[in-house]
């Protein structure tokens, strides 16, 4: 009875804000044909960071127009990225009495209770198998990194414009390139082409430190502020010519280039640590192929990955 009195107003508020969906989310529904009662913005769980002091889980479903909670609302202990409310074990009541979610926190619940079925449809079904990469893709909310008018397509399987003639990469390509780096968690990673900051956030989930270079100051500053607001303390955004790498931060255990180069930039190869891997799309503007370069001492081996299409890599070792 007491629990009902506490939870009922919360449930009503959640439903009023459209946080409940009655069907499994398909990434194209929010773009082509949103179903009745479904949020226009596709959402997912948003709980991130390898440094997080505890793992939080969300579990909620919709039945008969009401949220069917399998547990009670609790709040996590604050961490580097700030804990959000989540649904915990029904046997653990301690958090319920300490801090019920505020209206502002309820506004954010949609990012935790939305189905992450798009991961299976777009990534697992197409061969992405690294569990850490899949977990990072689940935790980082892509809709946070796209313009407001693109929220409805945030989880569609395609690149989206972010302004200044740049794009946020297709989720599948983000996963492919990240998986190719074979990150274990202890690496220093260089990203060339910060853009919105989405790829940097994925890398920050998987590596010890991320240096990301963006040549456009307006994009760099927006990404810096966004990543800081999300609590990423292991990412440094640098303004400069990414084709030249960042000698001041080298060597790097992994380098990811998020734009198409006419050839593999030599400075990036030289800034790899022994055993380090570089992933870069190479080719003309209409079609490229991923090149995966591995350094072994002073030798470099190269393998080819999937075909792709990226915006041009501009700089001294890129397109002019």
Residue 254 forms part of a structural domain: yes
| 84 and 40 together in one domain | yes
| 43 and 103 together in one domain | yes
Residue 230 forms part of a structural domain: yes
Domain that holds residue 45: 2-115
| Final residue before a domain boundary, out of 76, 99, 115 | 115
| 86 and 6 together in one domain | yes
Between the alpha carbon of residue 240 and those of residues 192, 215, 294, the distances in Å are 10, 5, 25
DSSP reduced 3-state for 172: helix
User: 216 near 237, Cβ under 8 Å?
Assistant: no
Residue 156 forms part of a structural domain: yes
| 125 and 106 together in one domain | no
| 252 and 300 together in one domain | yes
Is 169 a catalytic site residue? Answer: yes
Q: How many domains does the chain have?
A: 2
Catalytic residue among 48, 169, 196, 246: 169
Burial of 198 (0-12, 13-18, 19+ CB in 10 A): buried
| 173 and 258 together in one domain | yes
| Final residue before a domain boundary, out of 115, 140, 164 | 115
CATH number of the domain enclosing 194: 3.40.50.150
Q: What is the pLDDT along the chain (320 residues), one digit of tens a residue?
A: 544 554 454 444 444 433 333 333 333 222 232 333 323 333 333 333 333 333 333 333 333 333 333 332 222 223 343 333 333 333 333 333 333 444 444 344 344 334 568 999 999 999 999 999 999 999 999 999 999 999 899 999 899 999 888 999 999 999 999 999 999 999 999 999 999 999 999 999 999 999 999 999 999 999 999 999 999 999 999 999 999 999 999 999 999 999 999 999 999 999 999 999 999 999 999 999 999 999 999 999 999 999 999 999 999 999 98
Task: Give the total residue count for the chain.
Answer: 320
pTM of full prediction above 0.75: no
Run of H or E residues at 177: helix 171-181
| 91 and 63 together in one domain | yes
| pLDDT score for 117 | 86
| 88 and 139 together in one domain | no
How many CA atoms are closer than 13 Å to the CA of 202, on its beta-carbon side? Answer: 29
What gap in Å lies between CA 118 and CA 181, rounded to an integer?
Answer: 22
């Amino acid at each position: 009875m007491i629990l009902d009195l506490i939870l009922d107003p919360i449930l009503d508020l959640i439903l009023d804000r459209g946080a409940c969906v009655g069907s499994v989310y398909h990434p194209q529904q929010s773009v082509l044909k949103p179903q009745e009662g479904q949020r226009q913005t596709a959402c997912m769980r948003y709980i991130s960071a390898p440094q997080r002091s505890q793992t939080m889980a969300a579990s909620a479903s919709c039945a008969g127009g009401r949220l069917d909670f399998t547990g009670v609302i609790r709040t996590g202990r604050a961490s580097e990225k700030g804990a959000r409310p989540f649904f915990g074990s029904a046997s653990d009541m301690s958090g319920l009495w300490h801090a019920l979610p505020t209206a502002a926190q309820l506004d954010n619940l949609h990012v935790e209770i939305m189905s992450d079925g798009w991961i299976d449809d777009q990534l697992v079904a197409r061969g992405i198998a690294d569990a850490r990469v899949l977990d990072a893709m689940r935790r980082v909310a892509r809709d946070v990194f796209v313009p407001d008018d693109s929220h409805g397509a945030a989880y569609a399987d395609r690149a989206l414009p972010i302004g200044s003639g740049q794009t946020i990469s297709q989720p599948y390509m983000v996963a492919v390139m990240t998986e190719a780096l074979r990150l274990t968690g202890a690496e220093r990673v260089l990203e060339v082409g910060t853009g919105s900051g989405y790829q940097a956030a994925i890398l920050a989930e998987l590596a010890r430190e991320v240096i990301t270079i963006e040549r456009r100051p307006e994009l760099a500053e927006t990404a810096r502020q966004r990543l800081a607001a999300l609590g990423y303390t292991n990412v440094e955004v640098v303004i400069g010519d990414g084709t030249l790498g960042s000698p001041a931060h080298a060597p790097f255990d992994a380098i990811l280039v998020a734009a198409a180069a006419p050839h593999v930039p030599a400075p990036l190869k030289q800034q790899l640590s022994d055993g380090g891997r570089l992933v870069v799309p190479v080719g003309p503007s209409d079609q490229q192929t991923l090149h995966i370069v591995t350094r072994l001492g002073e030798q470099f081996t190269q393998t080819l990955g999937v075909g792709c299409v990226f915006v041009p890599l501009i700089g001294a070792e890129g397109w002019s």
